[in-house]
Amino acid sequence: MKLGLALALLILPVPAAAARSGDQAFASIPGVERPERARQNYILKCQGCHGPTAQGNRSNTPPMADMVARFLAVPGGRAFLGRVPGVATAAVADAELAELLNWTLYRFDAAHVPPGFKPYGAAEIGKLRKAPLRTDAASTRRVLVDDISKAQAAGK
């Protein structure tokens, strides 16, 4: 970066919303056209259960922080993320939902996004959400979490 530009960036005021969310650190997230829109959608549709830092809550919602992208590494995990009830039934159009899920992965668990990850797109999400998990969500999740633990133990 040129020194002049670097100085200008230091001096320019950061927009309040970006400063609050830390989104400037994720200026370019694969599969996320508008990070600010994704953040708003998260606040409105997901945060009530998952919490502002995706820490979840002890009574009914498991943490996504430092965890959610691990599902991408086990068979069936990618589909699971698009089929959990909170995602599949969210009142958001397919393209925005794909964006929101991609944002969620990078925002809360960038470290575990596998190399070569292909972001979710509208068509894939549209298909997955047509087969939402319902009462079987928790049991499906348990099997996948078990697979994740086994893969970890095997050093994968």
Nearer to ligand HEC, 12 or 21 (CB): 21
Interaction mask 23-62, ligand HEC, x per CB under 6 A: ----------------------xx-xxx---------xxx
Q: How far is the CB of 60 from ligand HEC (least distance, A)?
A: 6
Structure tokens, 69: 């992208």
100 makes contact with ligand HEC (CB under 6 A): yes
Please provide residue 3's backbone torsions phi and psi, each rounded to the nearest 5 degrees.
-60, -45
Dist. CA 134–CA 131, nearest whole Å: 9
Query: 16 or 82, CB closer to ligand HEC?
Result: 82
110 is written with which tokens?
């960038």
- 90 counts as binding ligand HEC under rule CB under 6 A: yes
Toward ligand HEC, which CB reaches closer, 18 or 66? Answer: 66
Task: Pick from 36, 37, 86, 95 the residue near ligand HEC by CB under 6 A.
Answer: 86
Instruction: State which of residues 68, 74, 113, 125 lies at the interface with ligand HEC (CB under 6 A).
Output: 68
Q: Which residues contact 69 (CB under 8 A, 6 or more apart)?
A: 105, 109, 110, 111, 112, 113, 114, 117
All residues at 6 or more sequence positions from 45 whose CB lies less than 8 Å from its CB, including other chains = 86, 90, 91, 92, 100
